[in-house]
């Protein structure tokens, strides 16, 4: 909001190349841009001019039809009574019957209109006005404003006193609206659809909206210029400011009207003098330029240094990578080298190993000679266990045999 221009030039309507003065920018035109809000409010507001349409209440049911019930080899749908005409016995009622009513007949008590909160409507208008002050948005909406000197375009009050259409057209052309007016004229075409037979035969684009304060002939003068619409500042309509729900209409203000905007809407602090209890919408962010904020020194200076994420390299397998193995298990390479060498005859490592082996065998033999003699030998100890078991088995058998003999007896 603080980034807006403080002052707007006023152009002389007779000679638009000269400026007659300047005026401070009203706060309304700095309202936050809310395309979603405008769309929503427009959607609902647009429904309010609708006229009801419906099928006749009795449509399709204006017969004394009764079902023939079962037993007559016909479907049970209600049928028209009587005789003597084709109509007798024909199906009636129901959407499937010829001449019957429709499914879910349209009714006049459909909820045609929508109510919109007053504040919401006012916010939408403020937003739409703000959008009309921004050239990119007006261009994006489709208006040809390449020759317009400034946006918002404010013209001296003299234009309000114009009575002749010719003069008005000249004035507009001098203000740079020639391209825009031509666009409207070129765009006139026959409407597609039934509307052409319903008194809505032609369609054309919209041109500028002239907002005035005092009507001294301007409405009549501008009335017949294709595409041009007039509106009084006090009675601004969202349906004109944001046609089709898209804001950014090309708007031409008269000096008086522009001044009055400040009188109507006031500022954020003061509230709107002419709209009771209403204050202009506040932006969610005072400065919406996110990139700028993030990159500003105020923010950057307070940030901690960027966290370096540890990115794992490729996982290495210690069993395959000798370097990694050495890292994890120091000395392993040496040991491995020795181990390899020890199987090669003639190396000192080999001799070392053989020496150890010999010593070990000697020890073992010595021990065996000392301790394992007589009954302590391996074989003897083995058989001892076997004998014990054999004896146990024999005893068991004898016992069984004795039993058998007793039984026999």
Cα gap 114→49, rounded to integer Å: 10
Contacts of 242 (CB under 8 A, 6+ apart): 38, 42, 124, 128, 131, 248, 249
The number of C-alpha atoms within 13 Å of 364 and in the hemisphere containing its C-beta is: 6
Distance in Å, CB of 42 to another protein, minimum: 12
Contacts of 31 (CB under 8 A, 6+ apart): 123, 126, 127, 129, 130, 280, 281, 283
Residues lying near another protein in the complex (CB under 8 A) are found at 1, 3-5, 30, 32-33, 35, 130-131, 134-137, 139-142, 145-151, 176, 246, 287-291
**Which of 161/246 has CB closer to another protein?**
246
Contacts of 327 (CB under 8 A, 6+ apart): none
Cα gap 190→173, rounded to integer Å: 26
Distance in Å, CB of 16 to another protein, minimum: 10
Cβ–Cβ < 8 Å for 134, 248:
yes
Distance in Å, CB of 174 to another protein, minimum: 12
**Which of 153/159 has CB closer to another protein?**
153
Distance in Å, CB of 173 to another protein, minimum: 14
**Which of 140/399 has CB closer to another protein?**
140
- Give me 93's structure tokens: 């009622």
**Which of 216/246 has CB closer to another protein?**
246
Distance in Å, CB of 73 to another protein, minimum: 55
Distance in Å, CB of 150 to another protein, minimum: 5
**Which of 141/240 has CB closer to another protein?**
141
Q: Secondary structure of the chain: what % helix, strand, coil (to 5)?
A: 45, 10, 45
**Which of 69/284 has CB closer to another protein?**
284
Q: Which of 199, 220, 200, 197 is nearest to 210 (CA)?
A: 220
Sign of the C-alpha dihedral computed for residues 386, 388, 390 and 392 taken in this order: negative
**Which of 291/314 has CB closer to another protein?**
291
Stated as kind and residue range, the H or E segment containing 22 is: strand 19-24
The number of C-alpha atoms within 13 Å of 218 and in the hemisphere containing its C-beta is: 27
DSSP H helical segments within 87-134, as ranges? 118-132
**Which of 124/131 has CB closer to another protein?**
131
């Amino acid at each position: 909001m603080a980034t807006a221009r403080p002052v707007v030039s006023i152009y002389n309507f007779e000679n638009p190349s000269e400026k007659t003065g300047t005026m401070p920018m009203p706060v309304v035109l700095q309202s936050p841009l809310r395309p979603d809000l405008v769309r929503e409010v427009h959607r609902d507001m647009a429904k309010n001019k609708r006229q009801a349409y419906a099928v006749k209440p009795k449509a399709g049911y204006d017969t004394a039809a009764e079902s023939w019930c079962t037993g007559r080899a016909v479907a049970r749908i209600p049928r028209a009574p009587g005789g003597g005409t084709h109509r007798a016995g024909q199906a009636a009622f129901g959407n499937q019957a010829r001449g019957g009513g429709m499914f879910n007949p349209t009714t006049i008590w459909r909820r045609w209109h929508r109510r919109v909160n007053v504040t919401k409507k006012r916010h939408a208008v403020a937003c739409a006005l703000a959008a009309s002050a921004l050239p990119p948005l007006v261009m994006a909406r489709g208006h040809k404003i390449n020759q317009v000197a400034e946006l918002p375009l404010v013209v001296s009050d003299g234009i309000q006193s114009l009575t002749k259409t010719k003069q008005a057209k000249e004035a507009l052309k001098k203000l740079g609206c020639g391209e825009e007016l031509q666009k409207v004229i070129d765009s006139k075409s026959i409407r597609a659809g039934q509307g052409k037979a319903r008194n809505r035969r032609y369609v054309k684009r919209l041109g500028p909206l002239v907002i005035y304060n005092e009507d001294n002939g301007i409405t009549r003068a501008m009335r017949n210029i294709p595409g041009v619409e007039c509106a009084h500042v006090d009675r601004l309509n969202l349906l004109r400011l944001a046609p089709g729900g898209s804001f950014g209409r090309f708007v031409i203000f008269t000096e008086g009207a522009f001044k009055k905007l400040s009188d109507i809407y006031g500022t954020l602090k003061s509230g709107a003098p002419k709209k009771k209890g209403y204050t202009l919408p506040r932006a969610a962010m005072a400065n919406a330029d996110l990139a700028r904020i993030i990159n500003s020194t105020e923010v950057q200076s307070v940030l901690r240094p960027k966290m370096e994420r540890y990115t794992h390299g490729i996982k290495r397998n210690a069993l395959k990578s000798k370097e990694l193995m050495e890292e994890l298990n120091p000395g392993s390479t040496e040991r491995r080298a020795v181990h390899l060498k020890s199987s090669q005859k003639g190396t000192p490592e080999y001799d070392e190993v053989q020496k150890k082996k010999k010593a070990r065998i000697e020890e073992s033999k010595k021990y065996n000679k000392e301790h394992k003699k007589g009954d302590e030998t391996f074989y003897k100890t083995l058989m001892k266990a076997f004998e014990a078991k054999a004896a146990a088995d024999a005893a068991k058998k004898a016992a069984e045999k004795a039993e058998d003999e007793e039984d026999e007896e």
